[in-house]
């Protein structure tokens, strides 16, 4: 990495951490705020959360093309300003129309920020540093969310709407800080990615994708089998984990396992703590291993997590053992997340053609958003009413992650699957240039 790339990366990561800090102030309390503090009811709160997700689904299909044409910086700044406006409006929302407008602004703004940030990280990294860059982003985001949630919990008061207005004001300010920080970043030209690991194709796909390499677009992406398989895998990953955190798994824990609702907060804290503590330890273990096998291992770890959850609700143990098993479920999910952060996002970037990094990042963000929208809709009712089938379903989903990851590995080139091979080959080439050029000795 050049000095300019390093400086840009530090500013991007700082802005990302601060915006996550602002989100942590409000994310745990949005439902309670709309339903109880503003007195708009549970159905309205559910509708607001649905609008939040739908706004993201509407804007993401167009975001990637704009990023590739205009660059990620203006998209990130626009998204941050929209999200800031949405947070301010939400803090003053006393009726349904205002809350819906705020949800649209927040949903659209935060959605376009994701692929823009990912593309900026790609532009400011090299194939050999990208894994660590995305791991750092995930670490800082979780640290910011955790600290923001802890501080927000000390400020929030359900009897004072003004305390929530303060929380949303802090969130709005942090989005503006992100926009201001991003505006000072000098991004390298996209041409600096010319030496990237991937041309977007594996050996099996190169003939089909060569025509669409520079043009990008949805049609070329759909012809790229490795990317399609990664999107399917990503949907299952987010559906089986993140899509269950605050809906199906929470409903299962409180209904089937009879966990005290306060223990849900402890479980989420355990999840964040494992990510923060384990992220860079895990990074050292996975960055020189095949990405497909790391993801396959995550499927096995999450299978164990769901079996622990099954014991908590169906094992007929003591309340203490059930609570410990339930908290362990969230901790195991955190370990899997720490393994995914330096694996999946860099793989999306390495599969993308240089001219379509934004479109690939946006497509993967869209898949993630679909999973996060469908996950609670499916998991919530199942977790509360059908605890046995719920656990079996997600044990099978987790095993499916392992199978899909191993199948994806067959589509990847050796360097796409294990970027450290490229670093090793460059190191060998750097130390043996004269030897390679020398003529063979005469007999």
Instruction: For 373-398, write each residue's pLDDT tens digit.
Output: 888 778 878 887 888 999 999 999 99
Check the CA dihedral 308-309-314-315 and report its sign: positive
Query: What CA–CA distance (Å, rounded) separates 239 from 311?
Result: 21
Cβ count within 10 A of residue 297: 17
pLDDT at 86: 94
Query: What CA–CA distance (Å, rounded) separates 302 from 337?
Result: 10
Do the domains spanning 1-184 and 196-419 agree at the CATH topology level? yes
Per CATH, is 196-419 categorized as 1.10.10.10? no
pLDDT (mean) for 16-24: 86
Kindly give, in sequence order, each residue whose CB lies less than 8 Å from that of residue 87, ignoring residues fewer than 6 positions away.
22, 26, 102, 106, 168, 169, 171, 172, 175
In terms of C-beta density within 10 A (0-12 exposed, 13-18 middle, 19 or more buried), how is residue 119 classed?
A: buried
Query: What CA–CA distance (Å, rounded) separates 290 from 264?
Result: 34
pLDDT (mean) for 421-426: 61
Express as a percent the part of the chain with pLDDT over 70: 87
How many residues are present in the chain?
443
pLDDT at 357: 87
pLDDT at 189: 62
Q: Which CATH superfamily is domain 1-184 in?
A: MFS general substrate transporter like domains (1.20.1250.20)
**What 8-state DSSP symbol labels residue 71?**
-
pTM over 0.85: no
Query: What CA–CA distance (Å, rounded) separates 325 from 327?
Result: 6
Query: What CA–CA distance (Å, rounded) separates 440 from 293?
Result: 41
Query: What CA–CA distance (Å, rounded) separates 91 from 25?
Result: 12
Cβ count within 10 A of residue 388: 12
Give the domain ranges of the chain. 1-184, 196-419
| Backbone φ and ψ of 171, nearest 5° | -60, -45
Q: Decide if 19 contacts 178 (C-beta within 8 A).
A: yes
Query: What CA–CA distance (Å, rounded) separates 400 from 404?
Result: 6
Query: What CA–CA distance (Å, rounded) separates 123 from 8?
Result: 10
């Amino acid at each position: 990495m050049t000095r300019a790339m390093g400086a840009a990366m530090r500013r991007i990561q700082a802005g990302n951490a601060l915006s996550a800090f602002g989100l942590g102030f409000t994310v745990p309390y949005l439902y309670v705020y709309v339903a109880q503090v503003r007195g708009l009811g549970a159905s309205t709160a559910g509708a607001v959360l649905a609008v939040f997700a739908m706004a993201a689904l509407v804007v993401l299909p167009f975001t990637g093309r704009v990023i590739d044409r205009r660059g990620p910086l203006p998209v990130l700044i626009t998204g941050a300003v929209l999200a800031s406006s949405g947070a301010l409006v939400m803090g003053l929302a006393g009726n349904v129309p205002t809350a819906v407008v705020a949800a649209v602004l927040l949903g659209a703004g935060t959605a376009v920020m994701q692929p823009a940030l990912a593309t900026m990280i790609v532009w400011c990294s090299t194939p050999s540093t990208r894994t660590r860059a995305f791991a750092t982003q995930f670490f800082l985001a979780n640290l910011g969310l955790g600290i923001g949630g802890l501080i927000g919990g000390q400020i929030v008061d359900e009897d004072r709407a003004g305390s929530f207005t303060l929380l949303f004001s802090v969130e709005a300010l942090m989005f503006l800080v992100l926009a201001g920080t991003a505006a000072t970043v000098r991004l390298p030209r996209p041409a600096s990615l010319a030496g990237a690991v991937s041309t977007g194709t594996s050996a099996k796909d190169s003939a089909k994708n060569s025509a669409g390499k520079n043009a990008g677009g949805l049609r070329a992406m759909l012809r790229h089998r490795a990317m399609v398989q990664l999107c399917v895998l990503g949907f299952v990953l987010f559906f089986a984990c993140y899509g269950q955190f605050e809906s199906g798994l929470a409903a299962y824990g409180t209904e089937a396992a009879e966990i005290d609702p306060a223990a849900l907060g402890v479980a989420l804290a355990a999840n964040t703590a494992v990510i923060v503590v384990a992220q860079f330890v895990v990074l050292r273990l996975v960055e020189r291993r095949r990405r497909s096998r790391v993801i396959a291992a995550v499927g096995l770890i999450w299978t164990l997590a769901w079996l622990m959850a099954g014991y908590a609700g169906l094992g007929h143990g003591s309340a203490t053992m059930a609570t410990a098993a339930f908290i362990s479920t969230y901790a195991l999910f955190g370990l899997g997340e720490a393994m995914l952060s330096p694996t999946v996002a860099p793989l999306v970037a390495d599969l993308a053609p240089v001219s379509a990094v934004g479109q690939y990042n946006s497509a993967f963000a869209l898949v993630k958003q679909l999973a996060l929208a469908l996950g609670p809709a499916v998991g919530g009712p199942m977790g509360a009413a059908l605890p046995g089938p719920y656990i079996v379903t997600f044990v099978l989903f987790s095993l499916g992650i392992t199978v899909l990851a191993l199948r994806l590995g067959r589509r990847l080139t050796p360097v796409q699957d294990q970027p450290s091979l490229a670093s090793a080959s460059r190191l060998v080439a750097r130390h043996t240039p004269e030897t390679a050029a020398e003529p063979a000795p005469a007999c």
